[in-house]
């Protein structure tokens, strides 16, 4: 169990390091960085590499935003395997991402309960 925590830490941290390199070295904005990482996750899943990473690192691979690209691609591929080319579309519509739905839900709740804060430093 502790080894799972350590691998989650190392793999998750490493994905963040890739993001930091995008931001610092290639001077990308956070939005560019995140979009690039999502595309990266989706490509990795195309090669069948992301699921093994999740098996290995657990939350270290499911928590970073790369897993969002992975889960969409995974859903599309799973349907495509069953129904051929049309499955690519239906598979993507089938996938529900808890990240997006929870962000929407908690975003509205957050807007409802939190007031603007005093600026501090």
Partner 1 sequence: MKKSIIVFLMLLLLGACSNEKEKVIFPADNSASLKPIMQKQETIHGYKSVINEENILVAININRFARFNKTKIEEKITKQIEKQFPERQVLVTGDQKIMWEVESIIDKKLKEEDLKKSIEKIKSLSKEET
Partner 2 sequence: MVNTFGTLQFITKISIANTGIVAGPVEKDGPFAESFDEVLPLETEKNETNEQAHSRMIEMACQWAAKNGHTQLNNIDVLIAGDLINQLSPSNFAARSLALPFLGVFSACASSVEAIIIGSLLLESGNARTVLAGASSHHPAVERQFRYPLQYGAQKPKTAQWTVTAAGFALLEKELNDVPVVTHATIGRVIDGKQKNPLHMGAAMASAARDTIERHLTNTKSQMSDFDVIMTGDLGNIGISILKEMFQDENSGVILQDAGAQFYGNEPFFNAGASGAGCSAAVFFGQIYDQLKKGVFKRVLLVATGALLSPLTFQQGETIPCIAHAIECRMEKRS
Partner 3 sequence: MDQQQFQKIVDEKNPKVPYFLNILKAFIVGGIICTIGQLLTFFYMRFFPFTEGTAANPTVATLVFIAMILTGTGIYKKIAQFGGAGSAVPVTGFGNAVISAAIEHKSEGYVLGVGGNMFKLAGSVILFGVLSAFVVALIKTILVSIGVISW
Distance CA 81, CA 44 (A): 17
CA-based nearest residue to 74, from 59, 63, 87: 87
The DSSP symbol for 25 reads T
In the complex, the smallest distance separating the C-beta of residue 51 from partner 1, rounded to whole angstroms, is 7
Cβ-based nearer residue to partner 2, 10 or 16: 16
Q: Is 81 in the site for partner 1 (CB under 8 A)?
A: no
User: Footprint of partner 2 on residues 13-52 (CB under 8 A)?
Assistant: 23, 30
Q: What's the number of CA atoms in the CB half-sphere (13 Å) around residue 3? A: 1
Q: What is the CA radius of gyration of the chain?
A: 17
Total residues at the site for partner 1 (CB under 8 A)?
A: 16
Instruction: Rank residues 56 and 93 by Cβ distance to partner 1 and give the closer one.
Output: 56
One residue of 7, 35, 36, 90 binding partner 1 per CB under 8 A: 7
Report yes or no: 9 and 15 within 8 Å, Cβ to Cβ. Answer: no
Least distance to partner 2 from the beta carbon of 28, Å?
Answer: 12
- Which does residue 56 bind out of partner 3, partner 2, partner 1, none, counting CB within 5 to 8 angstroms by kind? partner 1
């Amino acid at each position: 169990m502790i080894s799972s925590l350590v691998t989650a830490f190392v793999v998750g941290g490493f994905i963040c390091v890739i993001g930091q390199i995008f931001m610092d070295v290639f001077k990308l904005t956070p939005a560019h960085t995140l979009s690039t990482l999502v595309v990266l996750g989706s490509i990795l899943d195309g090669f069948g590499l992301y699921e093994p990473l999740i098996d290995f690192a657990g939350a270290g691979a499911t928590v970073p935003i790369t897993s969002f690209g992975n889960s969409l691609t995974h859903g599309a591929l799973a349907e495509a395997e069953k129904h051929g080319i049309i499955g690519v579309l239906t598979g993507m519509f089938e996938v529900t991402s808890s990240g997006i739905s929870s962000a929407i839900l908690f975003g509205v709740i957050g807007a409802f309960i939190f007031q603007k804060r005093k600026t501090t430093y």
